[in-house]
Every structure is written in structure tokens, then in C-alpha cells.
């Protein structure tokens, strides 16, 4: 445990020292949130969102990029250092395969999000003001998630679901589409949740502490090292991301973090617990999905605006109040998830 705590502190201090010059660099590059009229997934205008979030224009995006770069660099180096100093590394799976799956998820979704951020920020094409079109983004997400899900099944031999109190379900080859769906769902759910200062990153921080507890309990060293590195970087980022935010994750961070969070839950063999611990993400994406489907097929809005955090903001809740209460709910969900994990071993 002392090693994991040391890795967390190392990551925190490295990222904390780099974030201020990184924010200044983003300002110089003009990599900032644009003043724009946004649109939803069906290319419909979102005037309520624009009104509530117009003050956020000009804040740099791309905080997730620094976290991804530093974490991806330190992860293999620290594992190598542990080996060189003869520190025992315990694994549930082949070390190289587990590292490959984690990094491909982290970097693959990050690159997709970075392209989306660049297109939205610098408007490379006439239709680029809102980033990648939904169908294009979804196709790339399916490709990345499909590759990762296949590795989980064929290389790590993961094919079962642990359902608390009920037992084990073996999905066989169907685990691949199931895992891909989970990864895509959480990648987009995190992106939707990342709408208020400090909310998505704070919820993820709480959820990752729960996952770190689980990974340490089952002695999965590489996963524990990665989560500790990610957590240290995330806490450093959160210092600059709380209201009023000095920097945003951007899609580079949101897509990567949501997808990788799901992958960790799947590697741990606890997709049910993943849904509980990540309950805020599920709530946010469900409210947004129901709103889109209602507008598309019923021709009317289900509620005034979605996702849920935006609806609460419209009804007079202050941004810090929404974020703080979502954090509190996340703590409860994390504890509940840890409790349920005892029944899914």
C-alpha cells in the first residue's frame, strides 16, 4: 500500500507543477472554449444551454490531454522500476496484455476526443463548429471499443458477469458486444456529465478511489498503479477545475476517462458494480437519451432541458450546489458499490 500511496503523491505533484504552465500554453495557442450556438446530437439548437453557459467561453480546454500524456508516460516506467527494484508485481492476467488494453483505451479515446476538440476550437471545416458529427464519432468509438472488448475476451478470457446475490452468468462470445456497449456508453456518459465546473472530474475521483480499493484487495498491481497515477493527476486537475474553472477537460479527457473507467470495471470483472459506482454517469446519460428520443419520436421535450444537471441549473440551483450534491451522492454510490463487490467475488 505504501507504494501505491507514493505513486499517487508523485503523480499529484508532477501534474500540479505542470498545470499552470500548461494552462498558459493553452491560452497562447488559443485552445479555448468558443462563444457559439451549440446543437444537440440531432443538430437542433440548444438556446437554454447557450444562455446558462455563455460565461464559460474563453476558458482553456484540453486539461485531459496533460493527464493522459503524463499518466501514459509514467505508467510503464513505474512498472519497469518496480521490476528493476525487485518489488513483487502480482497480476490477475498477463502483464503485457493488461497494460496494452489500459493504454489503448486511454490513448485511443483520447485521440478521438482531441480531434473533436481541435475541430470545434479551430473550425477546420464549415460544419466543424460543433465538432465531429454523431455518426462519425460513434463509428470510431465502436471500432476502438470493439478492439478492446475483443482483447478482454480473447486475451484475458473474460466472459462472465457477476450479479450480486444471483451468481455468475457466462456470456461466451456475446461478451464482446456487451463490453463494447458498456465502454461506449460510459465514454459518452462521462462526456455528457462534464458540463459543470468540477462535476465529472470530482465524481470520477470518488469512483476511482472505490476501484483502487477493489484492485488493491485482489492484488492487481498494474491496475492499482494505473489508478493511483490517474487519481493523483485528477486531484491536481480538480484544483484548477472547481468553480470557477480555470481549465476544462475537453473531449480529449471526457471520452478517454469515461471509456477507460468502464474498461477498468470490466477488467475487475464487476460490470454490475461499475454501474452502481458510476451511477451519476448513468443518470446523466439516461436523462439526455430520454430527452433526445422524446424529441425525435414524440416531437416534444420530456423536460425543459437535459441532462439532469442542466435542468437543475435552469430551476435555480447554483452550479456549486449541484456539483457538491452530486459528489455526495457519488460517495454513497461508491460505498454501496464496494459493499456489493463483496457479493460478486
What is the full per-residue pLDDT of the chain (345 aa) written as tens digits?
899 999 999 999 999 999 999 999 999 998 988 765 565 555 555 667 667 777 788 899 999 999 999 999 999 999 999 989 878 889 889 999 999 999 999 999 999 999 999 988 876 544 444 556 788 899 999 999 999 999 999 999 999 888 877 788 899 999 999 999 999 999 999 999 999 999 999 999 999 999 999 999 988 999 999 999 999 999 999 999 999 999 999 999 999 999 999 999 999 988 999 999 999 999 999 999 999 888 888 888 888 888 999 999 999 999 999 999 999 999 999 999 999 998 766
* Strand, coil or helix: 57: coil
Annotated ligand binding at 170? The verdict is no
Q: Which of 309, 119, 93 is nearest to 219 (CA)?
A: 93
- The count of domains in the chain is 1
How many Å is the maximal CA-CA distance in the chain? 64
Q: Which residues span the domain enclosing 163?
A: 2-344
Question: What residues form DSSP beta bridges with 160?
Answer: 170
* Strand, coil or helix: 229: helix
Task: Supply the pLDDT for residue 58.
Answer: 87
Task: Supply the pLDDT for residue 166.
Answer: 78
Alpha helices in the chain (DSSP H): 2-29, 47-53, 63-84, 95-122, 134-154, 175-193, 199-217, 221-241, 250-267, 271-277, 279-293, 308-314, 319-341
CA–CA dist 309, 194 (Å, integer)? 10
Annotated ligand binding at 251? The verdict is yes
Task: Supply the pLDDT for residue 46.
Answer: 66
**Grid coordinates of 240:** 484548477
Task: Supply the pLDDT for residue 342.
Answer: 84
Task: Supply the pLDDT for residue 4.
Answer: 94
Q: Which of 118, 238, 101 is nearest to 179 (CA)?
A: 101
In residues, how long is the chain? 345
Write out the H or E segment, with its range, that includes residue 165. none
Amino acid at each position: 500500500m505504501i507504494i501505491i500511496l507514493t505513486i499517487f503523491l508523485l503523480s499529484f505533484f508532477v501534474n500540479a507543477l505542470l498545470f499552470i504552465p500548461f494552462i498558459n500554453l493553452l491560452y497562447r495557442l488559443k485552445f479555448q472554449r468558443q462563444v457559439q450556438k451549440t446543437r444537440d446530437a440531432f443538430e437542433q439548437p440548444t438556446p437554454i444551454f447557450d444562455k446558462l453557459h455563455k460565461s464559460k467561453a474563453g476558458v482553456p480546454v484540453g486539461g485531459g490531454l496533460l493527464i493522459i500524456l503524463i499518466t501514459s508516460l509514467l505508467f510503464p516506467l513505474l512498472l519497469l522500476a518496480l521490476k528493476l527494484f525487485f518489488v513483487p508485481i502480482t497480476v490477475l492476467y498477463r502483464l503485457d496484455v493488461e497494460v496494452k488494453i489500459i493504454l489503448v483505451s486511454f490513448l485511443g479515446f483520447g485521440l478521438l476526443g482531441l480531434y473533436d476538440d481541435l475541430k470545434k476550437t479551430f473550425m477546420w471545416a464549415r460544419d466543424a463548429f460543433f465538432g465531429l458529427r454523431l455518426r462519425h464519432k460513434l463509428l470510431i468509438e465502436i471500432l476502438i471499443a470493439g478492439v478492446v472488448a475483443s482483447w478482454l475476451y480473447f486475451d484475458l478470457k473474460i466472459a462472465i458477469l457477476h450479479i450480486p446475490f444471483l451468481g455468475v452468468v457466462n456470456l461466451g462470445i456475446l461478451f464482446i458486444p456487451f463490453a463494447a456497449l458498456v465502454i461506449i456508453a460510459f465514454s459518452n456518459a462521462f462526456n455528457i456529465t462534464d458540463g459543470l465546473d468540477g462535476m465529472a472530474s470530482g465524481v470520477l475521483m470518488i469512483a476511482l478511489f472505490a476501484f483502487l480499493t477493489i484492485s488493491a484487495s485482489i492484488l492487481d498491481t498494474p491496475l492499482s498503479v494505473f489508478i493511483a497515477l490517474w487519481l493523483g493527476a485528477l486531484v491536481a486537475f480538480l484544483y484548477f477545475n472547481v468553480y470557477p474553472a480555470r481549465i476544462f477537460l475537453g473531449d480529449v479527457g471526457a471520452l478517454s476517462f469515461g471509456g477507460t473507467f468502464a474498461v477498468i470495471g470490466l477488467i475487475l470483472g464487476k460490470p454490475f458494480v461499475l454501474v452502481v459506482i458510476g451511477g451519476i454517469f448513468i443518470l446523466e446519460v439516461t436523462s439526455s437519451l430520454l430527452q433526445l428520443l422524446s424529441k425525435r419520436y414524440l416531437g416534444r421535450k420530456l423536460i425543459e432541458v437535459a441532462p439532469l444537471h442542466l435542468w437543475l441549473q435552469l430551476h435555480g440551483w447554483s452550479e456549486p450546489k449541484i456539483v457538491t450534491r452530486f459528489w455526495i451522492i457519488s460517495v454513497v454510490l461508491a460505498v454501496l458499490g464496494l459493499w456489493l463487490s463483496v457479493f460478486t467475488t
